[in-house]
Amino acid sequence: MKTFNNLRFYNILVVASLIIASIIPLSIYANEVEPNEIKLGTASLEIKFHGDVPPAEKMWIFIAWNELFGWPIQDMHDQDLFDSGDGTYRIDLPVQTSKTTALLKIADNIGYAYALGFVDLIQGDTLTLNGTFVGDSLTIEPSNPSGFNSYPMDNSEQRNVAAFVNQEFRDLISYSHENPMIIHGITDPQKVYAAGDSAWREVLRQNDEVYLPIINKERAKELLHGEQLQTFLKNLSTFIYGVEYLRYDKIRSNWAPEGNREMPPLEYYDFLNRIDFSNLTDFLPYYPPFHILKNILLYFPIKIEPIGNTPVDQWQAQAKEKLGQVITNVPDNMVRLLSAASYRMQLDDNKPFTPAQIRNISAGYSGDDLGQILLNANSKLEAQLKERLKIHDLTAETAFDLKSFIDANYPGRPVVVDFWNTWCSPCLRAHKETESLRKQPEADGIVFLYVSDTSSDNDTFDQLAPRIGGEHLRLSTQTAGNYVESQGFNGIPCYFFFDRDHNLIHKQLSFPGADKYLNLLRQL
């Protein structure tokens, strides 16, 4: 596989990821697919080059496309993904909706874009583009109309919509760098602070002063017309209200350094009614609906708790009731995607789903593939965690000495040893308590070794161990039992605390409690 410095392309993506994706597919479909369904499948893109085609090593093709929870990027110059024998590049993209939009960039080997633009892809269909090179100029036209947008796709800053959108937000970002408050709409922090209890009104006023002109850009009106213009402005406003306005709690310390600023009343959040939540599956790449929904879960003034083990329909009803105190009409599909976002936030925190959550997801999502998308993401995370998990398998050994084992494997490091098993409820409850303790500064540099035996079946162990983290040691049931008994214990969980010289500082049957556990970590 050839390598290439993707810096220039990633620069575009970084800018785009901040704001660009509030724009939506601005396409004219020959065979419109309505509505935009959530379903797993593939969409194919084929590009055929003609004319003065640059050598393969000097031409690079990148595509980034929309998913519900992210924006994958694919370098199409992977030899496994295309056949360039006749100048044809082809890729089959895994997609999660019946139609999606992708940013396509065709560039030379130093990042100069021959063509940059948006293409709209329909699941189960192939979009074929014909590209003709004349010198350094590339003209692209579709050989079939399905999924191809109505914009010129070239390197013209004057006509290229993708370039226009990128430049709009480059301007906004650079403006914010000159005054960091601008990105949050706050142009005069002192005036906000002086407003006292009504500071939130001043924040709204300054937000509108900064962002409304952006939403009403005259340049957009020159490039876009009719429904395309309205779609662009609608989704640009979705970003601004759903990100910049909503993060009041996150930014208030910037203009209230004493930290005594109260959260605004619900009246402040009335701006959420400016957002059209009816069709959240139509976002462009780089800014999928997950980001807006995540902000609602993080910053909505009436706390919406993580979904946890709550049944999906019950959680959705509770969330809709809370949202309804601010948002006049809460679409059912918005709340449905919000519940999926809560699950996804858990995965992003490297916490796989519990068995109860897997059952709830299987029962709670019907009619499309939303539940399966979540379960697939969970399986991927579990595989990644398992790959990173270090497991010492000594199940064939009949003799075992814990001190000798940690001397050989963790020289110069303090070690906390936890004997547990998958069927041991007190062990699992203790793991939940120690999860946060292991993230404290006192735990830095400490090895957490979890010892289980063959009375825990492999399938259940494989499911639970990645969620626990740390390092794991597997013993036979008899060997583990013999060692525990030799230490004067008649059950589990039991704990052993070794300092960096592997002196045994403390051992105990049953969980010592969070305070004592943390104090023991300090002693190591």
d(CA 96, CA 279): 15
Give the 3-state DSSP-derived string for 495-524, with helices as H, strands as E and coil as C. EEEECCCCCEEEEEECCCCHHHHHHHHHHC
Q: Give residue 385's pLDDT band: very low, low, confident or very high (50, 70, 90).
A: confident
Strands (E), 135-258: 137-142
d(CA 285, CA 20): 9
pLDDT (tens digit, 9 = 90+) per residue, 342-372?
Answer: 999 999 988 899 889 999 999 999 999 999 9
d(CA 146, CA 46): 12
The whole-chain average pLDDT of the chain stands at: 79
pLDDT (tens digit, 9 = 90+) per residue, 185-199?
Answer: 777 878 887 887 788
Q: What is the mean pLDDT of residues 472-490?
A: 94
Greater pLDDT, 515 or 286: 515
Q: What is the mean pLDDT of residues 172-179?
A: 43
Per-residue pLDDT at 204 exceeds 80: yes
Collapsed DSSP state (helix, strand, coil) of residue 187: coil
pLDDT (tens digit, 9 = 90+) per residue, 47-57?
Answer: 888 888 887 77
Closest CA to 211 of 191, 175, 240, 169: 240
Per-residue pLDDT at 285 exceeds 80: no
pLDDT (tens digit, 9 = 90+) per residue, 399-433?
Answer: 899 999 999 999 999 999 999 999 998 899 899 88
The predicted pLDDT at position 75 comes to: 65
What's the sign of the alpha-carbon dihedral 131, 132, 134, 139? negative
Q: What kind and span of H or E run contains 332?
A: helix 332-348
Closest CA to 230 of 219, 215, 244: 215
Phi-psi region of 316 (alpha: psi -120 to 50; beta: other; left: phi over 0): alpha
Q: Write down the pTM of the prediction.
A: 0.73
Q: What torsion, rounded to 10 degrees, do the Cα atoms 83, 84, 89, 90 define?
A: -10
Per-residue pLDDT at 482 exceeds 70: yes
Per-residue pLDDT at 213 exceeds 80: no
Closest CA to 427 of 450, 448, 446: 450
Pair type for strands 38-51 and 73-75: unpaired
Q: What percent of the chain has pLDDT over 90?
A: 37
Per-residue pLDDT at 220 exceeds 80: no
Closest CA to 27 of 142, 128, 152, 151: 151
The predicted pLDDT at position 160 comes to: 47
d(CA 380, CA 93): 18
pLDDT (tens digit, 9 = 90+) per residue, 116-153?
Answer: 777 778 899 888 888 888 887 888 876 555 444 444 55
The predicted pLDDT at position 203 comes to: 86
Give the 3-state DSSP-derived string for 285-328, with helices as H, strands as E and coil as C. CCCCHHHHHHHHHHHCCCCCCCCCCCCHHHHHHHHHHHHCCCCC
Buried b (16+ CB within 10 A) or exposed e, 270-309: ebbeebebebbbbbbbbbbbbbbbbbbbebbbeebeebee
The predicted pLDDT at position 59 comes to: 78
Q: What percent of the chain has pLDDT over 70?
A: 75
